[in-house]
Structure 1
Amino acid sequence: MAGRQSPHLGPNGAGSTSRISRRAALGGTAGLGGAAFLSACAGAGGGGGAGGGGGGGGDDKSVNVIMVNNPQMVDLQKLTADNFTKDTGIKVNYTVLPENDVRDKISQEFSSQAGQYDVASISNYEVPFYSKNGWLAPLDDYISKDSEFNQDDILKPLATALTGDDGKVYAEPFYGESSFLMYRKDIFESKGLTMPDKPTWQEVADFAAQLDGAAPGMKGIALRGQPGWGQVFAPLTTVVNTFGGTWFNEDWTAQVNAPEFVEAVKFYVDLVRAHGEAGAPQAGFTECLNGMTQSQVAMWYDATSAAGSLDAAGSPVAGKMGYVAAPVNKTDSSGWLYTWAWGVQKASKRQENAWKFISWASSQKYEELVGSKVGWASVPAGKRNSTYENADYQKSAAPFYKATQDAINAANPSDPGVQKRPAPGIQFVAIPEFADLGTQVSQFISSAIAGQTSVEDACDQGQELATKLVTDKYKK
């Protein structure tokens, strides 16, 4: 996700620590944002992309794709020419950019309906308002005619999140994630502690206090504190939800300084200040992942995609990790939902080719290709039921695949809290203004984590911004 560089998107399925450095921040999602060193890559299936400007032109045997530079997308580029293009004759012109850059470019392209790009990597954050604005082409007719794609195999929460208010499908997932609690089983055992399958946040806080110093230099828990709507607010908004808070009530009245919102933020800030990782105010997905890998923390609440790196071959903590549901307070579940997905621009003149690309890139067949050519740890998972039934994937992802599947299936973007919401979203509010709002308010929260301001003052400032940027506009 933007600025999070994704929470989402931790190293989702990354097979080695080298993949962590390649992405350097995209987590988010949902996850983290892409790494600048890959800022403009020409695709393996064709030209374009250098400098972020190669998407124009094309003919009836080509398709122009703009996408984020996550490791999974880099693998996609490498596999395109020898597989998709070879089989279909369709040349893919890729433009590949870091997350913040690609979001800006896609927003400009789709809002103007310039038609330069046929397919874009968008997320469940954008789909609700992109579809409502008429920027996306519905995919239902293509789905119904494609006997091999198997829409019913898509995990229901993702399928729902990528469906518009009109009931039409507007994007197909490339990979997905939720969030869960990761912990060191060996450290818990050494302290005589037992982690519940569905812990409460109070239980987690109690564990964190007991786990400080359980190993030399170890802190009880890692939680993101870095500013960004997709950094600190990815996990924090899920805490707000389960504590009974919300950014906005049903009529768009801001609730950032409401008692429940303040209570959740205070709990989070107090927990990370007392028992969190060193440098928490600037710790994002990558920093927390490194802390967990290097045995600097005993627990970490974040993206399910992180598990692929923690339990990867060569990881110092492989085989030592446990994974349980996202902690709760007043709700039955609290994990987020995020997916990088493929959407087709309404103005595209090559929608048939666009669907053929999506049908391949989001297919079960493509996952099997990655498994055989790259490795099952690198499969863009989290989107198909068949993935979790695959024996090869189960073997590769044995410690975490079931917990990941359960977390995604439990996510409910339309009803993530205790009250009705004016827009969908678990760790975000699916409106264009939220990216700016969340990022600005996150600065105040990070300052509170640093001890430079109080939680109450941070939330009061957030309330003013939420009212100005959203409430005053949407109530009209």
Structure 2
Amino acid sequence: MAGVASAETSLTIAIVNNGHMINMQKVAEAYTAETGVELNWVSLEEGVLREQVTSDTATGGGQYDVINIGMQEAPIWGAAGWIEPLNFGDEYDVEDILPAIRAGLSHDGQLYAAPFYGESSMVMYRKDLTDAAGVTIADNDSWENVKAAAAAIHNPDEGVYGACLRGKPGWGDNMAFITTVVNSFGGAWFDKDYRPTIDSDEWRAAINFYVDLLGNYGPPGSEGNSFNEILALYNEGKCGMWIDATIAASFLEVDGVAYAQSPNAGNPVGANWLWAWAMAIPAGSPNAEAAADFIEWATSKEYVQAVGNHPEFGWGSVPTGQRASTYALPEFQAVADFAKAEMAAIESAAPQATDLKPYVGVQFASIPEFPEVGSAVAQEMAAALSGAKTVDEALEASQAAADAIMQEAGYY
């Protein structure tokens, strides 16, 4: 554990309010005890976190010493000089970080954010319910088969909903899932000239399918649900199926959960996302050295051991998706029945540009304008889901908003 900081050092750390981040506050008490560094936590819902961190970092506000960002921001902010490059010692073993995760947090080979955990997306379903209904869900199944399974296990009279999916508006909330559906239908955000393609047949088919699936077989008020809300519903026994971040498997408390690779409508490329919640240092932080020491510890092999051996957590609660070495630990293998499916999803994710899309990113586009575009479209998709707008109305408004943003940015 690094310890160059003095006992008077205090770090303010902005984190997303997901389970692994919440656990870190307890695990890090040992870090403070050993180093004397005081840690002040600001825990925020992910949409709020993105807004506040982006605003503060872009303006050099200096509110935070360590920030949670992801693969959309890290290379762009690194290239812009908004965040500090990260250079750790040999003991940190940067080569142990999964290649796709490391690449997504780097610019020109330089790491700008260190992954606290990484993820793809997959199907997490109640096998007891599918068995009872006589249906199956296969790896990379068709969306039609998945919808049929959702219909078969949907039993709202008993408080069980066939499919729980993100509906809460945000470029990293509902649009994370929706973009993978669009990808799987053969759609993309932009064409080769970066003109939005939201008014396409592929988007229309994907959004109609999404609204139909969630509207008929999802819980009421789905337009307000993102990761944490659905996790709570799942653990209350109210979800028969959930397609979301692989990291969710660490926090499922119901019996009989099975896993499958993400479904598609003929195009498996981009049907499962790739993401990491990572830690970065805003440029110009007066506590940059102490911040780097903390990040090095919190994203290290040592931290994984600290969680695994912690009396309140244990090996089923270690952060995953970031280090290859975690998957080789016998203690982890013994409790992580999701590990094989999680790794398969991460390894099959395809962030690189393809013939269908000119940009890097699966569930986002790695361009500076994407958060604004994605947020605008997210509101329209939530309106379609709630019934406030038709799908066609929502897509038309989305196309117009995205077109205005991209024209103003000078793409065409």
From 416, 419, 442, the equivalent of 2:378 is 442
Residue in structure 2 matched with residue 267 of structure 1 by the alignment: 209
Of residues 21, 31, 48, the one that matches 1:73 is 21
Contact between 1:244 and 1:418, CA under 8 Å: does it hold in 2? no
Match of 2:391 among 452, 455, 466: 455
Aligned residues: 404
Distance 1:457 1:147, change over 3 A: same
Contact 1:80–1:92, Cα closer than 8 Å, also in 2: no
Q: Which residue pairs with 1:246 in the alignment?
A: 188
The question of 1:408 aligning with 2:346 is answered yes
Residues 386-395 or 73-82, more deviating: 73-82
Instruction: Show structure 2 runs of 5+ residues with no match.
Output: none
Equivalences for residues 196-345 of structure 1 within 5 A? 196-213=138-155, 216-310=158-252, 315=253, 317-318=254-255, 320-333=256-269, 334-345=271-282
Change (3 A) 1:242 1:148: same
Secondary structure of 2:92's aligned partner: coil
TM-aligned CA distance change 1:223 to 1:115, over 3 Å: closer
Displacement of 1:371 in angstroms is 1.0
**For the residues of structure 1 that align with 2:282 and 2:215, how far apart are their CA atoms?**
45
Q: Secondary structure at the match of 1:103?
A: helix
Stretch of structure 1 that moved more, 343-352 or 256-265: 343-352
Aligned counterparts of 2:151 and 2:23: Cα–Cα separation in 1: 41
Question: d(CA) in 1 for partners of 2:10 and 2:99?
Answer: 28
Q: Match for 2:103 among 135, 160, 181?
A: 160
Q: CA deviation at 1:364?
A: 0.8
Kept in 1, the 8 Å contact 2:251–2:317? The answer is no
Does 1:389 pair with 2:328?
A: yes
CA RMSD of aligned residues (A): 2.6
Distance (Å, rounded) in 2 between the aligned partners of 1:113 and 1:337: 29
Aligned-partner Cα distance in 1 for 2:62–2:279: 16
**1:107 lines up with 2:50 in the alignment:** no
Percent identity between the two aligned chains: 35
- Residue by residue, what CA displacement relative to the aligned partner does 1:396-444 show, whole Å, maximum 9, x if unpaired? 222x1211121122222224x651323x222222344433332332232
Which one of 64, 70, 86 corresponds to residue 11 of structure 2?
Answer: 64
Distance 1:219 1:74 in 2: 28
Residue by residue over 1:103-160, the C-alpha shift from the partner in whole angstroms, topping out at 9 and shown as x without a partner, is 3443233223355644322211211221121112222xx33xx121111111111111
The corresponding residue for 1:356 is 293
Asked whether the equivalents of residues 241 and 418 of structure 1 are also in contact (C-alpha less than 8 Å), the reply is no
Deviation at 1:84, TM superposition (A): 5.8
Task: Check whether the contact 1:251–1:475 (CA below 8 A) recurs between aligned residues.
Answer: yes
TM-score normalised by the chain length of structure 1: 0.78
* Structure 1 unmatched runs, 5+: 1-57
In the alignment, residue 204 of structure 2 is paired with which amino acid?
V
Match status 1:183 vs 2:120? no
Q: CA deviation at 1:360?
A: 0.9
The normalised TM-score by structure 2 is 0.89
Q: Verify: 1:430 aligned to 2:366, yes or no.
A: yes
